[in-house]
Structure 1
Amino acid sequence: MADTPGSSFTVEGQLCFALHSASRAMTGCYRPLLEAVGLTYSQYSVMLVLWEHGTVTLGRLGEQLYLDSGTLSPLLKRLEAQGVVTRRRRLDDERIVEIRLTTVGAELEAKAQAVQGRVEEVTGLTALELATLRDDLQRLAARLRAAEIEPESAAG
């Protein structure tokens, strides 16, 4: 693959590595702040969905976070043990599991908002820069999820 302006076939020249490195740095920034709230970063992402919607199905939660039930189930089990969520099967359709915030879980939202504010501050970006970067990354992620990539033939 040919180099594009400003990039090269090195670790530093790769978009994937820049995204990976930024993601690790971002979660590393959240880690000590969320620890004080009693959440891991993965648990925080689940809680964000619940703070927004109150109650969601396991399927909807997985769709929103791009995670499968095998990944979500242990996370939810730990959150339930902490008393911040409940899991219940629907009475009308036992195949559907609903996840609900408890009062304790709802009370964590204010603390989590303070964490978010601190992380935004640490980035050094303005609100507009943060929104633009987030929107650009969301568009990139959507394009990558929609892409149908086939490996090229090794014969040539």
Structure 2
Amino acid sequence: MEPNDMNLANQLCFSVYNATRMFNKFYQTALKTFDLTYPQYIVMLSLWEQDNQTLNQLGKQLNLESNTLTPLLKRLETAGWLTRHRDPADKRQLVVSLTVDGAAKRDCVLAAVTDAIKGSHIDIEKYREALKINNELISELTDSIE
């Protein structure tokens, strides 16, 4: 890397940080009707894809530690989106499950996000390419720090 590559404007990490902030604002607007935050939304996405996950499974899929995930789950439980209960077969395992209402809201939430994307200036092909590159980068960074 050249010295100018180390300028703030040339830092990929800074660009990704700003993109993260913009995604949070974007989703905040799209999810406002449902009183969901972006982190709560990703929890719900995971449960809509696979219901009845253990806390450990959910944490691994979302790459979140239980001390970060637990408060999110408590707020979602209080709002009626999900329940948390001990697995009868293994009391050490906390199972997270959708409520009937949480499952029923799936299509409405996804439609709201889809409508927000359609109403934005996001180029879907660029989005898909960026996602592919970002996932490859995450893999490379993970390999380099493990």
- Give the structure-2-normalised TM-score: 0.91
Q: CA deviation at 1:54?
A: 1.6
C-alpha contact (below 8 Å) 2:30/2:113 kept by paired residues: no
C-alpha separation between the residues in 1 aligned to 2:65 and 2:131?
23
Q: CA deviation at 1:111?
A: 2.0
Change (3 A) 1:22 1:123: farther
Q: What root-mean-square deviation, in Å, do the aligned CA atoms of Structure 1 and Structure 2 show?
A: 1.7
Structure 2 counterpart of 1:114, which letter? A
Q: Does 1:137 align with 2:144?
A: no
C-alpha contact (below 8 Å) 2:55/2:95 kept by paired residues: yes
SS of 2:105's partner is helix
Q: Greater share of helix residues, 1 or 2?
A: 2
The aligned length equals: 145
Partner of 2:50: 53
Partner of 1:153: none
Partner of 2:31: 34
After the TM superposition, list the runs of 4 or more consecutive aligned residues in structure 1 that deviate by more than 4 angstroms.
none
Q: CA deviation at 1:14?
A: 0.3
Q: CA deviation at 1:148?
A: 2.5
Change (3 A) 1:146 1:131: same
Partner of 1:76: 73
**Unaligned stretches of 5+ in structure 2?**
none
Give the alignment partner of residue 22 of structure 1, picking from 16, 19, 23.
Answer: 19
Q: CA deviation at 1:123?
A: 4.1
Change (3 A) 1:42 1:14: same
C-alpha separation between the residues in 2 aligned to 1:46 and 1:133?
22
For residues 10-31 of structure 1, the C-alpha deviation after alignment (integer angstroms, 9 at most, x for no partner) is 2111000000001111111110
Structure 2 counterpart of 1:111, which letter? C
C-alpha separation between the residues in 2 aligned to 1:72 and 1:86?
14
Partner of 2:2: 3
Structure 1 counterpart of 2:139, which letter? A
Structure 1 counterpart of 2:25, which letter? G
Q: CA deviation at 1:140?
A: 1.1
C-alpha contact (below 8 Å) 2:82/2:98 kept by paired residues: yes
Partner of 1:125: 123
**Unaligned stretches of 5+ in structure 1?**
150-156
- Give the structure-1-normalised TM-score: 0.86
C-alpha contact (below 8 Å) 1:30/1:115 kept by paired residues: no
Partner of 2:10: 13
C-alpha contact (below 8 Å) 1:37/1:111 kept by paired residues: no
